[in-house]
Amino acid sequence: MSALKKALFVSVLFVFVSAASAAELKPVKYVFLFIGDGMSIPQRMMAEEYLKKTQNTGLRINAMPQQAITTTYAANSFITDSAASGTAIACGAKTNNGAVGVNEKGERLESIAEVAHKSGKKVGIISTVTLNHATPASFYAHRANRGQSYDIGLDLVASGFEYFGGGGINGHKGSKNKEGVEQEDIFDLAKKAGYTVCRTQEKIKALKRGTDKVVAIGSETDLPYAIDASEDGLKLADFTKQAIELLDNPKGFFMMVEGGKIDWMCHANDAATTLSEIIDFDNAVKKAFDFAEKHPSETLIVVTGDHETGGLTLGFAGTGYASFIELLGSQKASLDVLKKTFADYAKKNPEASFDTMKALITEKSGLIFAADGKGKNGTMILTAAEQEELATKYGDKKYDELSNAVIRFVNHKSGLAWTSNAHTALPVNTTAWGPGADAFFGMIDNTDIAKKLKQTVIQPQRQRRVFRR
Ligand SMILES: [Zn+2]
């Protein structure tokens, strides 16, 4: 065959194959985007190691076939906040820290949720924190400042998205405007706009399929930490499952689900509570996989973090090459609850000595007070110096500091440490599964996530092989 004939043959073949693929492939019908706020590789690996040691399993999100290292910087800062990173992930453009759904000049950007909605899909926005917090807001709001809670609430109502679920709406009551006129409550405005507003868990649980537009408030503020939550309280996974049921329709849906409080306990350097938030988040992702198993050629699942928080590192100078991450399981309450528990105890028992407090510390944290004060690697036994520090904080009635020290010792016993109470510039990883997942590989930027997702919603995608663990 001559070179010319060969070239002709190849191009004809190419045209034939392309035409055939285009005819049978469609834009992706169901798209899930999960965001772990403050969740980078150390957070994911902490949970991976914990599950491996305690249950011989791992995170579902870490078993997804496509992986991409993802940079997170903001337009004006190497270290991003959740508004700039949320906007980058949602809209595909860099902006300054604090800005939501607008670029550095304050110009309106279009989010993947808005693109999906325009294309006829139903849209769900779910979070464990308030629904007008920076990350969820990035998908429907367009404001220069993430602190404009009421205005962001107005954008929520105006979005027309079909499902909002999880935490409350911060500042929903509004205030008097410049002319002295009371602003109308966001919940009332939502009802007028055709939303069914549920503000109790009973009402949320009773919602029927076919309910058109829903605002499902599981708490007036944020949902409780998974480590503190009651058995029957609604979790992130429950909202995800409900949204799937309510949004499923012939044109498909786009859903953003945020584990918003992973970040909060990374700020507080509480590894055990962070761990349980990540497992709670992973449980929500599993609901998407339950659905995807029924629609494997039509469902794309993408999981990312918006930035790292706390500078978590999976090693500690005191434990050398050893790790004891399973010890995190001995902590039974979040730092918030520890603070309250210790302060309440001291209030009720003003004359109590530190000795009587020890049992409570052991019950809540697993830390052990041994008389010899030697401590021991791989156990929760405190050293004499650690016991001394706790006794001093108690003696000084500094119960918040006492709680912080308890958490720090739990971290160190587990072989973990933190470097910051703020965010860091560490990249995150983005994992993907389903048609269109092939686009997520190598080193990408957080703005690429929206760009790639917009393509999957609009352009035909090749289905990828389904990998299972
Ligand atoms: Zn944060």
Quick one: 146 and 223 in the same domain? yes
22 has pLDDT over 50: no
What would you report as the CA-atom Rg of the chain, rounded to the nearest whole angstrom? 24
Tokens matching residue 179: 């002319």
Tokens matching residue 84: 């700039």
Q: How far is the CA of 453 from the centre of ligand 1 (A)?
A: 24
Q: How far is the CA of 290 from the centre of ligand 1 (A)?
A: 30
End-to-end Cα separation, the chain, in angstroms: 46
In a domain, 467, yes or no: no
Task: Determine contact, residues 284/15, Cβ cutoff 8 Å.
Answer: no
Quick one: 136 and 227 in the same domain? yes
Q: How far is the CA of 219 from the centre of ligand 1 (A)?
A: 20
Q: How far is the CA of 305 from the centre of ligand 1 (A)?
A: 11
Q: How far is the CA of 270 from the centre of ligand 1 (A)?
A: 13
34 has pLDDT over 50: yes
The whole-angstrom separation of Cα 266 and Cα 320 is 23
pLDDT, one tens digit per residue, over 179-193 is 888 999 999 999 999
For the ranges 6-10, 71-75, 303-307, 406-410, the lowest mean pLDDT is seen at 6-10
Quick one: 428 and 408 in the same domain? no
Q: What angle do CA 341, 277, 366 make, to 5 degrees?
A: 45
1 has pLDDT over 60: no
- State the pLDDT at residue 263: 98
Q: Between residues 24 and 386, which one has the greater pLDDT?
A: 386
- State the pLDDT at residue 21: 45
- State the pLDDT at residue 422: 98
Quick one: 296 and 335 in the same domain? no
- Owner of token pair 């966001």: 186
402 has pLDDT over 80: yes
The whole-angstrom separation of Cα 40 and Cα 419 is 14
Quick one: 206 and 294 in the same domain? yes
Q: How far is the CA of 171 from the centre of ligand 1 (A)?
A: 19
Q: How far is the CA of 169 from the centre of ligand 1 (A)?
A: 18
Tokens matching residue 137: 């807001």
Q: How far is the CA of 272 from the centre of ligand 1 (A)?
A: 17
In a domain, 468, yes or no: no
**Strand pairing class (428-433; 299-305):** antiparallel
The whole-angstrom separation of Cα 209 and Cα 245 is 7
In a domain, 64, yes or no: yes
Q: How far is the CA of 457 from the centre of ligand 1 (A)?
A: 29
The secondary element (H helix, E strand) that includes residue 32 is: strand 30-36
In a domain, 154, yes or no: yes
Average pLDDT in the chain: 93
17 has pLDDT over 50: no
Neighbours of 337 (CB within 10 A): 17
18 has pLDDT over 90: no
Task: Determine contact, residues 37/166, Cβ cutoff 8 Å.
Answer: no
For the ranges 174-178, 221-225, 268-272, 419-423, the lowest mean pLDDT is seen at 174-178
Residue 33 bridge partners (DSSP): 256, 302
Q: How far is the CA of 422 from the centre of ligand 1 (A)?
A: 7
Q: How far is the CA of 264 from the centre of ligand 1 (A)?
A: 6
b/e code 154-186 from CB counts within 10 Å (16+ = b) = bbbbebebbbbbbbbbbbbebeeeeeeeebeeb
Quick one: 382 and 439 in the same domain? no
Average confidence (pLDDT) over 70-85: 98
The whole-angstrom separation of Cα 307 and Cα 133 is 15
Average confidence (pLDDT) over 409-432: 98
Q: How far is the CA of 170 from the centre of ligand 1 (A)?
A: 17
Q: How far is the CA of 309 from the centre of ligand 1 (A)?
A: 6
CATH label of the domain that carries residue 255: 3.40.720.10
**Local confidence band at 176 (pLDDT 50, 70, 90 cut-offs):** confident
Tokens matching residue 405: 């020290």
Q: How far is the CA of 82 from the centre of ligand 1 (A)?
A: 6
Q: How far is the CA of 43 from the centre of ligand 1 (A)?
A: 14
Quick one: 277 and 346 in the same domain? no
- State the pLDDT at residue 459: 78
Q: How far is the CA of 458 from the centre of ligand 1 (A)?
A: 32
Q: How far is the CA of 308 from the centre of ligand 1 (A)?
A: 8
Q: How far is the CA of 16 from the centre of ligand 1 (A)?
A: 50
Q: How far is the CA of 265 from the centre of ligand 1 (A)?
A: 9
Quick one: 380 and 439 in the same domain? no
CA dist 313 to 44, 67, 262, Å?
A: 11, 21, 15
In a domain, 143, yes or no: yes
Task: Determine contact, residues 115/454, Cβ cutoff 8 Å.
Answer: yes
* pLDDT more than 90, % of the chain: 88
The whole-angstrom separation of Cα 402 and Cα 398 is 6
Q: How far is the CA of 292 from the centre of ligand 1 (A)?
A: 31
Backbone angles phi, psi at 362, to 5 degrees: -65, -40
Quick one: 88 and 143 in the same domain? yes
pLDDT, one tens digit per residue, over 196-213 is 999 999 999 999 998 999
In a domain, 209, yes or no: yes
- pTM, whole model, 2 decimals? 0.93
Quick one: 398 and 438 in the same domain? no
42 has pLDDT over 60: yes
Domain range for residue 379?
325-413
Q: How far is the CA of 262 from the centre of ligand 1 (A)?
A: 9
- State the pLDDT at residue 15: 46
- State the pLDDT at residue 4: 57
H helix runs in 25-74, sequence order: 41-55
Average confidence (pLDDT) over 432-442: 94
> How would you write 78-105 as a 3-class SS string?
CCCCHHHHHHHHHHCCCCCCCCECECCC
**Strand pairing class (66-71; 442-445):** parallel
177 has pLDDT over 90: no
- State the pLDDT at residue 444: 98
Total structural domains within the chain = 2
- State the pLDDT at residue 204: 98
In a domain, 68, yes or no: yes
Taking Cα atoms as reference points, which of 89, 88, 117 lies closest to residue 103? 88
DSSP per residue, 194-205: T-EEE-SHHHHH
In a domain, 466, yes or no: no
Q: How far is the CA of 83 from the centre of ligand 1 (A)?
A: 10
333 has pLDDT over 70: yes
- State the pLDDT at residue 180: 86
Q: How far is the CA of 421 from the centre of ligand 1 (A)?
A: 9
Q: How far is the CA of 260 from the centre of ligand 1 (A)?
A: 9
Quick one: 108 and 222 in the same domain? yes
Quick one: 346 and 232 in the same domain? no
- State the pLDDT at residue 23: 38
pLDDT, one tens digit per residue, over 344-376 is 999 999 989 999 999 999 999 999 999 999 999
Average confidence (pLDDT) over 75-102: 98
Q: How far is the CA of 266 from the centre of ligand 1 (A)?
A: 8
b/e code 395-430 from CB counts within 10 Å (16+ = b) = eeeebebbbbbbbbbbbbbbbbbbeeeebbbbbbbb
150 has pLDDT over 70: yes
11 has pLDDT over 60: no
The whole-angstrom separation of Cα 286 and Cα 366 is 30
